[in-house]
Structure 1
């Protein structure tokens, strides 16, 4: 080989090595889409806390981007498209109403990985993930059933989708397991995050005799209202104890970071695949946070015992026999609701005197 040919080959080898090295050093780009503001102190707040944990865990190996306050529907599709065009390797869309927009964008960007929270539709490059929040709701129901003096507990609900209906049912079943006389009143606010509506809903429930409030909305407004009115409440999605030191019983906290870290590592090492992930109390991605030390001892003990029994499998919230509130058998004795049945739940359990809105 002539000297100039050798030098050219050597230069090409160095350039190739430099190119590979540079490529290997490129961070994995991760996008997040939030339905609410990161300051909601609930659902979106906890997703963003997890995003920050991802950055701490991976350092310069990742680069994250988030978009908050994204409406479900056409706006979501536009935002998800922008994140895909920006070169994100994996995009997490974090609300039920983002399901169809995620699938539509995923078809256009087959090389991008997508994960959609709380949904049930998947594709080759779209996975789903959710928490078994109904486990935490069952614990909440047990605590509320023991704490109530009026035997009337209240639930502030967002939208009539299976996830919310499932959690209402689980809360009532938990309450009923320790207090056969308990009744539940439900107010729908048709919003994930609207402190004004949530406050009005809390006050309306209290005016109807409710003395323990549960919620499937994302602001601490119901707890703040409970504190002002002298009733009790349970926090949603994040630790809300500091908003209502007297009224806060505990919070059911969503801890998304372990799942996000696992999925991003899978993208890094080429093992990511579309799947349906459900995590619960056993996995520590769902947590019982900040039990109020001033609660009666029997309530504190019941919270801890119920959590332990769910983790061990001794308590299965949707174990049969179960009927809906029209008297139809939904879960047979000796069985429990399957994940598929839970994902499609559109009925109230026996004892809830209400109708699900259309």
Structure 2
């Protein structure tokens, strides 16, 4: 049996060998075997780091009732399907696939292993033994936009983005709406790097945005490169996934942070109690999935108080960032006054709101 916190590294062949012990029949008192598939290195900040913190928190909470394995830096392609299948065929009871691009591979493997349960982060497909979990990242983005709109002097904000999928567009648009709520002169410029994790490209994109006049930049990518670039360039930044202030002590104004530990603990407690397959979930401030990174004292107290007020409304469920009137960047009406965008509409988002001064890739 693999010991708790086993780290699976190296070639996929080595992965297969390390899991052979799982082929033996499980005993009644065996711990639950849980696998995690990560798209980027764990590091000490970012998307994968936050998921791994959640895994470790769950282990601390549940002790010997559960064992985990994980594989980091798994590309969103054939290797992902192979890793997920290896986990499913070698004794894992539950597998977390933590990147959008794993979705079709999880769907395929889940059909082949009906007795294994699969949870996929940020996707939209599901099945009898295959569900989704996601966070309302856009809630934190709106708050970050408010701060950025207050602190900019150039009225140009920069956004380094990974892929033009609804999740990322939700963040860009919410950030823009938050900024416009305090500064109607703001414009947001976006550069796509077509990668979740590529520090070199992320840094180059950040520098390009600064060259275009952006004095506050943010990112929907996994590394700390954008915050570091802001620090080096003498501009402000909003971190994503993690509090990255140690990489930009002068630059970081705040950020959107993700918290998976309570969810992982609760879901696996349910599995241990044999309560059946959990449902898909999309959680935000109300559920503790999203929080705001500490706000830099450079931000005026009046703005900090405004952000705190909106945060409490998000936590109470009395405010939604996508509430009309809202138009896209071409002036087409998206939401009528007072109309709130539904989850289904947000899951299909394919436009920029007015205020984004970049062309959306098609």
Common topology (TM > 0.5)? yes
Matches within 5 A, 1:256-275: 256-275=260-279
Aligned counterpart, 1:255: 259
Given that 2:286 and 2:317 are in contact with CA atoms closer than 8 Å, whether structure 1 keeps it comes out as no
Matched, 1:280 2:284: yes
- The TM-score, its normalising length taken from structure 1, stands at 0.91
Structure 1 residue 51, shift from structure 2 partner: 0.7
Q: Which has the higher helix share?
A: 1
Q: Structure 1: 5+ residue runs without aligned partners?
A: 1-21
- The correspondence for 2:214, drawn from 186, 210, 213, is 210
Report Cα offsets for 1:262-296 as digits up to 9, x if no partner: 11112111223252201111222211122222332
Structure 1 residue 41, shift from structure 2 partner: 1.4
Matches within 5 A, 1:1-358: 23-39=27-43, 41-358=45-362
The count of corresponding residues between Structure 1 and Structure 2 is 337
Structure 1 residue 40, shift from structure 2 partner: 6.0
Structure 1 residue 326, shift from structure 2 partner: 2.4
Q: Take 1:332 and 1:99, find their aligned partners in 2: how far apart are those partners? A: 33
Q: Take 2:218 and 2:346, find their aligned partners in 1: how far apart are those partners? A: 20
Given that 2:267 and 2:278 are in contact with CA atoms closer than 8 Å, whether structure 1 keeps it comes out as no
More off after superposition, 348-357 vs 257-266 = 348-357
More off after superposition, 106-115 vs 192-201 = 192-201
Structure 1 residue 301, shift from structure 2 partner: 2.2
Structure 1 residue 86, shift from structure 2 partner: 1.5
Given that 1:123 and 1:274 are in contact with CA atoms closer than 8 Å, whether structure 2 keeps it comes out as no
Q: Take 2:33 and 2:318, find their aligned partners in 1: how far apart are those partners? A: 42
Q: Take 1:247 and 1:272, find their aligned partners in 2: how far apart are those partners? A: 46
- The TM-score, its normalising length taken from structure 2, stands at 0.90
Q: Take 1:163 and 1:314, find their aligned partners in 2: how far apart are those partners? A: 22
Given that 2:328 and 2:334 are in contact with CA atoms closer than 8 Å, whether structure 1 keeps it comes out as yes
Q: Take 1:350 and 1:42, find their aligned partners in 2: how far apart are those partners? A: 29
Q: Take 2:358 and 2:227, find their aligned partners in 1: how far apart are those partners? A: 24
Report the aligned-residue RMSD: 1.3
Q: Take 1:200 and 1:351, find their aligned partners in 2: how far apart are those partners? A: 23
Q: Take 2:284 and 2:82, find their aligned partners in 1: how far apart are those partners? A: 32
Report Cα offsets for 1:235-258 as digits up to 9, x if no partner: 110111111111111121100111
SS of the equivalent of 2:27 reads: helix
More off after superposition, 156-165 vs 289-298 = 289-298
Given that 2:57 and 2:261 are in contact with CA atoms closer than 8 Å, whether structure 1 keeps it comes out as yes
Q: Take 2:209 and 2:95, find their aligned partners in 1: how far apart are those partners? A: 39
Bigger radius of gyration, 1 or 2?
Answer: 1
Given that 1:127 and 1:275 are in contact with CA atoms closer than 8 Å, whether structure 2 keeps it comes out as yes
Q: Take 2:41 and 2:92, find their aligned partners in 1: how far apart are those partners? A: 21
Given that 2:145 and 2:175 are in contact with CA atoms closer than 8 Å, whether structure 1 keeps it comes out as yes
Given that 1:40 and 1:193 are in contact with CA atoms closer than 8 Å, whether structure 2 keeps it comes out as no
Q: Take 2:247 and 2:302, find their aligned partners in 1: how far apart are those partners? A: 24
Q: Structure 2: 5+ residue runs without aligned partners?
A: 1-25
More off after superposition, 161-170 vs 274-283 = 274-283
Structure 1 residue 79, shift from structure 2 partner: 0.5
Structure 1 residue 314, shift from structure 2 partner: 3.8
More off after superposition, 343-352 vs 22-31 = 22-31
Structure 1 residue 259, shift from structure 2 partner: 1.2
Q: Take 1:356 and 1:111, find their aligned partners in 2: how far apart are those partners? A: 41
